[in-house]
Amino acid sequence: MEKSIRAELSLGMDTCMRILGVLRRTNVEALRLEMDNRVLTIHVNEEKEQTALHQLAKLADVTLL
User: From first to last of its 65 residues, what are the pLDDT tens digits of the chain?
Assistant: 899 999 999 988 899 999 999 999 999 999 999 999 889 999 999 999 999 999 999 999 999 99
pLDDT at 12: 84
SS3 2: strand
pTM for this model (two decimals)? 0.86
Give CB contacts under 8 A, 24+ apart, made by 16-21. Answer: 16/40, 18/59, 18/61, 19/56, 19/59, 19/62
User: Domains in the chain and their CATH numbers?
Assistant: 2-64 (3.30.2130.10)
